[in-house]
Structure 1
Amino acid sequence: MRHHVLRAKGLRNNMTPAERKLWSLLRARQCGGMRFRRQNPFGPYILDFACLEKRLAIELDGSQHGETIRYDDERTQRLNRHGWRVLRFWNHEVMLQPDAVFAVIMAALMG
């Protein structure tokens, strides 16, 4: 478990531009008062962003996603079995359409 915590801390310190953009929308309880965490360990995984109260995970996918689709699908299924909902966005969606991404997140939080 300690390894995941250290890895998550490293990821928080080296966020991608898309992660920084999305974090600027999620932090400080800007989503209806809900608190999000960055690079949150959950079992063997590290969730890009997680709202523990609503059990909502937000994952960002970049160009490498095409190589990890099967892994991501298995990961999503496991999270779903533990009561989590997972939203996935492409990095370019966050960078080019942040308002639309934010609207989808808000709808998931309120639904």
Structure 2
Amino acid sequence: MTEAEGRLWQELRDRRLDGIKFRRQMPVGKYVVDFACVEAGLVVEIDGSQHAESASDIIRGAELKARGFRVLRFWNDDVLKDLNGVCDTIIAYVQDVNLQPWR
């Protein structure tokens, strides 16, 4: 795990974040996602700058969406500089399945 993934995992593991169950490094089809809340159909990905406008991420996102998941992406810096904001956003997306990710 990257430093950002490790910090976020400390918040997500063992239902620490608002009692929500997350899995780490979960296989979904031919992909392995960083974190997933199966019950809410939400995948959380923590990305570095190499993922900016990545064509492969677009294809990956489309496949995950076809499998019933919304993909919420955060930059490493988002997690490292505003972990509380990231966690609040994740809670909002788990609670409202109609919210659609912005990236």
Report the TM-score, using the length of structure 1 for normalisation. 0.81
Deviations 1:31-70 (A, max 9, x none): 332211111111110000011111110001102213x711
Query: 1:34 is paired with a residue of what secondary structure?
Result: coil
Match of 1:46 among 23, 29, 32: 32
Runs of 4 or more above 6 Å deviation: none
The root-mean-square deviation of aligned C-alpha atoms, in Å, is: 1.2
1:101 corresponds in structure 2 to 86
Q: Are positions 1:60 and 2:46 aligned together?
A: yes
State the aligned residue count.
96
Unaligned runs of 5+ in 2: 97-103
Provide the rounded CA distance (Å) in 2 between the counterparts of 1:34 and 1:102.
11
Structure 1 distance, partners of 2:41, 2:17, is: 14
Render the CA deviation track for 1:4-45: whole Å, top value 9, x for unaligned.
xxxxxxxxxxx1100001101111102332211111111110
Q: Corresponding residue for 2:11?
A: 25
More helix by share: 1
- State which structure, 1 or 2, has the greater radius of gyration over its C-alpha atoms: 1
SS at match of 2:5: helix
The sequence identity of aligned pairs, in percent, is 46
| Corresponding residue SS for 2:39 | coil
Q: Residue type matched to 2:90 in 1?
A: I
The residue identity in structure 2 corresponding to 1:87 is L
Q: TM-score, structure 2 length as denominator?
A: 0.87
Superposed displacement of residue 104, structure 1:
0.5
Supply the AA of the counterpart residue of 2:51.
H
